[in-house]
Amino acid sequence: MTCGEGYTLQQRILVRVERLNPVLKNVGEIRFTCFNKEDIRWSEISVGPIKDLIAELCYQASKAVHENMDVKEGYIIAYAEVPGVVVSEGEGSCSSSDTVLYPKPSRLKKIILYKVEGEMLKSVKEIDLDGEVFVYEGSIDLGDYDAVGLVTDDGLRIILRDEIHLSPIKSATPKTKSRKRRRRRSRKKSRKR
């Protein structure tokens, strides 16, 4: 409901905060980083009237994350929602992270191990996982396998051996830095003249 000039009347926002705690798990001959989920807080916030509902949801999610950022290892994820709209925000880190195993935190249901035969990947082993285990960024040791498939509630992601250890992105190479310095020096000299 709106009340003139695009304002939304009193709105109740549900805010849910979760913590993802990293765990090194051994399943068969595979070792990988996964996360155990822990609910920290559920609350209902009454706000209103508000001009921009999405901006208010983003603000509430961000506020909840920063109020609960007391973890040195792991992630805090907050969800702010009203009927039909959910906004999430998260923050944290995992020191044992070598790559992104899944683009967003998702419940891991199964691991599929692959070997390369010719130019094709062939599934050689499937491992069903019990319980609530979540996957996001971390590390994985494939052993003798060439790829791994992570089956989550959101679908399948196949990770090849070459993708497991991604090197950090460098913001600027030494050549670029030295070029920038030369340009600055030449500009300063031209200003002095």
pLDDT > 60? residue 181: yes
Residue of 132 and 166 predicted with greater confidence: 132
pLDDT > 70? residue 179: no
Of all residues in the chain, the percent with pLDDT exceeding 70 is 80
pLDDT > 80? residue 86: yes
pLDDT > 90? residue 156: yes
C-alpha 49/C-alpha 40 separation (Å) is: 28
Contact 80, 64 (CB under 8 A): yes
C-alpha 114/C-alpha 116 separation (Å) is: 7
User: Would you state the structure tokens that stand for residue 115, as one six-digit string?
Assistant: 């070997």
- Of the pLDDT bands very low, low, confident and very high (cuts 50, 70, 90), residue 114 is very high
Where along the chain do its domains lie? 11-163
SS3 content of the chain, % helix, strand, coil (to 5): 20, 50, 30
- pLDDT tens-place string over residues 35-50: 888 888 889 988 877 7
- Of the pLDDT bands very low, low, confident and very high (cuts 50, 70, 90), residue 78 is very high
**CA-to-CA dists, residue 161 to 75, 142, 149, angstroms:** 26, 8, 11
- Of the pLDDT bands very low, low, confident and very high (cuts 50, 70, 90), residue 81 is very high
Mean per-residue pLDDT, 3-32: 80
- pLDDT tens-place string over residues 157-168: 998 888 876 565
C-alpha 17/C-alpha 92 separation (Å) is: 13
